[in-house]
């Protein structure tokens, strides 16, 4: 929560502009006026990290949303209808799972070109098979329940049963998986940006910040240290949130 | 076992075909003419454009191009790099040594560290040792590898001057990259080893071993550790993907001339034949290693063979 708040309130928390260049203040070490120092163009590193939080958190959320939008319908259809559709879709999922995520992401970026949105798309698509798998398993378990039979007996259409009776069952595991997925997606997108395949400077995305800092490691350790700590803090808190949600949503683990 | 082996081998063929199709189509899914994209913003004569198009074989029907690509790949001919016209296979082959060295070293680091941390924290559960070890593991799971690598360079290369910053050759250029790459995987492993050791510690056969008067070290070595190893094999198999993406990043940070760096550089340079060749090669290695992990797992645990 604090994470999201700082991201939203970024402009209020800092007197500096994330993109304002100030050559007189270049490469200043951390001090009271610049808590995390300044970069090679005199920009305040703390400000850039704060504004970067918006980009990075949003990147994580959008990537996971893409993964869910692809994975959930896939798993739903596959689990509900079974038969040929299931076999074909699951083959596809298996195939995507045998193909390492990073390669798939790299291939997608090679096709679409390096850019932040393409990086989100790449991360989202390569994560989607996992969601498909989980939803399918949940659907298979829910399908044989009595309430589904009851719904069918009252004359519900397949679409209605799927959306109103089965989909709600998949919400809990998807929330847990999605939360943990945001953490993974932030790291993955930052990694792509770091490699120059995602967000490009001067955008203050965290991976891009680290990539900028790489060449100044010798003279300005703060340019690398603090964005990295920001990523770690964000990922750690999201992971803990995901673990907590899993414990809260899964009655089996509570016992 | 033989039957299982045959089945797994047969299942690999469609995967390989699909991967080759994906890699082949990559070039054609790029919006616009691949030859024009290759030149980007620089001015180019129509003749030069046509020349590159022919070099890429773009003037022929798609299906013919695919079979050509497949046939070439089977013969070990992956085309030539657009930039310097060297055969792609040659480029990839010259990078294998560096990548293999890194992967092996990282594997040792990950296994050793993960097993050690997990075992110690399980045996000293609910003490500060356990808490500290799990804190390290949690940090490892949340730490971006490129940041860990940069910090290692800063502390051990720039400040302490113990290791050279970048490059390839000699063990002292291997230590930092291997540690950076191995550490991230070791964190996941440590968590799993801890829980599986804790589980095993309560098994009746461990109690039996203790009650017949076996020394604690022997109990751990003979009865607990052996079972924890199955977890190690499983996780290392699952960690292959992580290790692979980590290797791409680690090689870039440390400027090691490996296959991963080749791939990233080729994408940035829009050298599509090189991207295709490198991706195909890495996917092949990944599939083969996965197969080996699966087989060794079936060997360790006979129940899997009969599924």
Do residues B190 and B133 make contact, with C-beta atoms less than 8 angstroms apart?
yes
Q: Check the CA dihedral B254-B260-B261-B262 and report its sign.
A: positive
* Most confidently predicted of A92-106, A240-254, B22-36, B123-137: B123-137
3-state secondary structure chain A: CHHHHHHHCHHHHCCCCCCCCCHHHCCCCCCCCCCCCECCCCCEHHHHHHHHHHHHHHHHHHHHHHHHHHHHHHHHHHHHHCHHHHHHHHHHHHHHHHCCHHHHHHHHHHHHCCCHHHHHHHHHHHHHHHHHHHHHHHHHHHHCCHHHHHHHHCCCCHHHHHHHHHHHHHHHHHHHHHHHHHHHHHHHHHHHHHCCCCCCCCCCCHHHHHHHHHCCCCCCCHHHHHHHHHHHHHHHHHHHHHHHHHHHHCHHHHC
Judging contacts by C-beta atoms under 8 Å, the chain A residues touching residue B244 are 100, 102-103
The pLDDT, as a whole number, for residue A66 is: 93
- Is there a contact between B141 and A239 if contact means CB atoms under 8 Å apart? yes
Which three-class secondary structure string do you get for B28-70? HHCCCCHHHHHHCCCCCCHHHHHHHHHHHCCCCCHHHHHHHHH
* Residue B7 CB burial class (10 angstroms; 0-12, 13-18, ≥19): exposed
Quick: pLDDT tens for B168-193.
666 667 778 888 888 888 888 888 88
Please tell me the distance from the alpha carbon of residue A145 to that of residue A202, in angstroms, as a whole number: 54
pLDDT at A255: 43
Q: Is B283 on the interface with A (CB under 8 A)?
A: yes
pLDDT of B283 > 70? The answer is yes
Q: Which CATH code for domain A44-254?
A: 1.10.3720.10
CATH 1.10.3720.10 fits B95-306, yes or no: yes
Yes or no, beta carbons of B286 and A195 under 8 Å apart: no
Angle subtended at Cα B141 by Cα B135 and Cα B143, rounded to the nearest 5 degrees: 95
pLDDT at A35: 64
Mean pLDDT of B221-238: 71
Looking at the predicted structure, is the pLDDT value of residue B31 above 80?
no
Contact B279 A187 (CB under 8 A): no
Higher-pLDDT residue of B30, B5 = B5
Pair of tokens at residue B17 = 């075909």
Inform me whether the pLDDT recorded for A36 exceeds 80.
no
3-class state of residue B20 by DSSP:
helix
Across B273-300, average pLDDT: 80
For residue B297, give both structure tokens: 């797992």
Position with higher pLDDT, B159 vs B47: B47
Cβ distance B267 to A100 less than 8 Å, yes or no, reads no
Going by pLDDT thresholds of 50, 70 and 90, the confidence category of residue A12 is: low
Q: Where are the domains of chain B?
A: 2-88, 95-306
The answer to whether B15 contacts A98, with C-beta atoms less than 8 Å apart, is: yes
What pLDDT, on a 0 to 100 scale, did the predictor assign at position A29? 67
Inspect the interface and report whether the beta carbons of A217 and B249 lie closer than 8 Å.
no
Structure pTM?
A: 0.78
Inform me whether the C-beta atom of residue B275 falls under 8 Å from chain A C-beta atoms: yes
Whether cis (ω within 30° of 0) applies to the bond prior to A202 is yes
Give yes or no for a contact between B281 and B92, defined as CB atoms under 8 angstroms apart.
yes
Predicted confidence (pLDDT) per residue in A42-93, tens digit? 677 777 777 777 788 888 889 999 999 998 888 888 888 878 888 888 878 8
Q: What burial letters (b/e) apply to B117-154, b meaning 16+ CB within 10 Å? A: bbbbbbbeeeeeebeebbebbbebbbbbbbbbbbbbbb
Chain A: residue nearest B241 by CA?
A: A100
Q: How far from chain centre, in Å, is Cα A162? A: 27
CB neighbour burial string for A89-101, b if at least 16 within 10 angstroms, e if fewer:
bbeebbebebbbb
Contact B272 A187 (CB under 8 A): no
Q: Kindly state whether B147 is in contact with chain A, defined as any CB-CB distance less than 8 angstroms.
A: yes
- Closest-CA distance, B226 to chain A, in angstroms, reads 28
Q: Decide if the complex's ipTM is over 0.85.
A: no
Pick the residue from chain B with its C-alpha nearest to A184: B142
């Amino acid at each position: 929560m604090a994470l999201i708040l700082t991201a939203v309130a970024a402009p209020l928390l800092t007197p500096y502009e994330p993109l304002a260049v100030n050559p007189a203040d270049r490469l200043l070490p951390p001090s009271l006026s610049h808590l995390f120092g300044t970069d090679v163009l005199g920009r305040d590193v703390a400000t850039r990290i704060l504004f970067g939080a918006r980009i990075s958190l949003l990147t994580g959320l959008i990537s996971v949303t893409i993964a869910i939008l692809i994975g959930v319908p896939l798993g739903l259809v596959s689990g509900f209808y079974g038969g040929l559709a299931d076999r074909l879709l699951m083959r596809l999922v298996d195939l995507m799972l045998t193909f390492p995520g990073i390669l798939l992401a790299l291939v997608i970026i090679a096709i679409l070109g390096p850019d932040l949105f393409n990086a989100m798309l790449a991360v989202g698509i390569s994560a989607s098979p996992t969601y498909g798998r989980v939803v399918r398993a949940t659907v298979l378990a829910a399908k044989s329940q009595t309430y589904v039979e009851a719904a069918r007996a009252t004359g519900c259409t397949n679409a209605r049963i799927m959306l109103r009776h089965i989909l709600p069952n998949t919400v809990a595991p998807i929330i847990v998986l999605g939360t943990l997925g945001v953490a993974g997606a932030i790291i993955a997108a930052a990694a792509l940006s770091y490699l120059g395949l995602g967000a490009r400077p001067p955008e203050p995305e965290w991976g891009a910040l680290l990539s900028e800092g790489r060449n100044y490691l010798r003279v300005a350790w703060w340019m690398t240290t603090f964005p990295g700590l920001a990523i770690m803090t964000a990922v750690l808190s999201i992971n803990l949130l995901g673990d907590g949600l899993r414990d809260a949503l899964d009655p089996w683990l509570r016992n | 076992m033989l039957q299982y082996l045959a089945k797994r081998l047969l299942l690999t063929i469609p995967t390989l075909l699909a991967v080759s199709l994906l890699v082949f189509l990559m070039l054609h899914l790029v919006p616009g003419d691949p030859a024009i994209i290759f030149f980007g913003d620089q001015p180019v004569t129509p003749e030069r454009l046509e020349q590159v198009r022919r070099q890429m074989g773009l003037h022929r029907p798609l299906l013919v191009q695919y079979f050509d690509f497949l046939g070439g790949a089977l013969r070990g001919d992956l085309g030539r790099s657009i930039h310097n016209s060297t055969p792609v296979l040659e480029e990839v082959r010259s990078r294998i040594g560096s990548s293999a060295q890194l992967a092996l070293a990282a594997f040792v680091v990950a296994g050793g560290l993960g097993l050690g941390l997990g075992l110690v924290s399980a045996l000293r559960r609910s003490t500060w040792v356990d808490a500290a070890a799990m804190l390290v593991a949690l940090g490892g799971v949340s730490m971006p590898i490129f940041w860990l690598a940069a910090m290692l360079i800063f502390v051990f290369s720039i400040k302490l001057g113990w290791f050279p910053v970048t490059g390839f050759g000699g063990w002292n250029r291997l230590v930092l990259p291997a540690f950076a790459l191995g550490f991230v995987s070791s964190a996941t492993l440590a968590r799993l080893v801890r829980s599986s050791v804790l589980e095993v510690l309560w098994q009746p056969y461990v109690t039996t071993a203790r009650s017949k008067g076996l020394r604690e070290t022997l109990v751990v070595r003979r009865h607990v550790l052996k079972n924890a190893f199955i977890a190690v094999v499983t996780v290392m198999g699952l960690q292959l993907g992580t290790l692979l993406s980590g290797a791409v990043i680690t090689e870039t940070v440390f400027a090691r001339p490996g296959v991963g760096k080749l791939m990233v550089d080729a994408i940035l340079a829009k050298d599509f034949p090189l991207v295709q060749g490198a991706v195909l090669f890495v996917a092949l290695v990944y599939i083969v290693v996965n197969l080996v992990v699966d087989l060794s797992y079936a060997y360790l645990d006979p129940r899997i063979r009969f599924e």
